[in-house]
Structures are given as C-alpha cells and as structure tokens.
Amino acid sequence: MFSVGVSESWKDDNGVKQTSTDWVTCFKRVSNTKSLQYLKKGVKVLVIGKPFFAINKGKDGKSHLNITINNFNYEIVDFKDVENGN
C-alpha cells in the first residue's frame, strides 16, 4: 500500500496562486512487491485502475473525500530519481 499526491495549482480571482493536493491510497494485492521499493516521495508514477470514492467525516467535523484504487497497475514515469538513488 502507498499513497499518491495529486496536486494542482491555479490563480484565484485576485491573482494569488492557490494549490490543492488530493491523496489517493493505492492497494496492490500481489505476492511480488519487489518493484514497490522504488516508489519513494517525489518519484512520478502513473497509476491505472478503478477508483473508489467515499466521503467521511473527520475529527474536525468536516467531510473529507477518500479516494482508493484497489488492484491497480502502475508505471514509474520519471526514473531519474530512482537511478540516482534519491
């Protein structure tokens, strides 16, 4: 299991840069997870699968969207960080 951050940036009506990040939890049910060792913070990945959405109330009382992908396929898109050992 790992999480992927999906970020977007835009300028609001006042021209101020805004940023939002949604987190997607990915579950992989396989016996060979050796390639998962290369998935580290900052490595760009493409995750292919069917998303499941749920809205839950957090401890703060606000509703939060949870996104989960089960039994997905993925590819590492940017190998430079993997090859450099970062």
Residue 81 has pLDDT above 60, yes or no: no
User: Domain 2-83 belongs to what topology?
Assistant: OB fold (Dihydrolipoamide Acetyltransferase, E2P) (2.40.50)
Average pLDDT over residues 35-62: 83
pTM exceeding the 0.85 threshold for the entire prediction: no
- Cα–Cα distance measured from residue 63 to residue 31, given in angstroms and rounded to the nearest whole number: 35
| pLDDT band at residue 9 using 50, 70 and 90 as cut-offs | very high
Q: Domain coordinates of the chain in residue numbers?
A: 2-83
8 Å CB contact between 73 and 49: yes
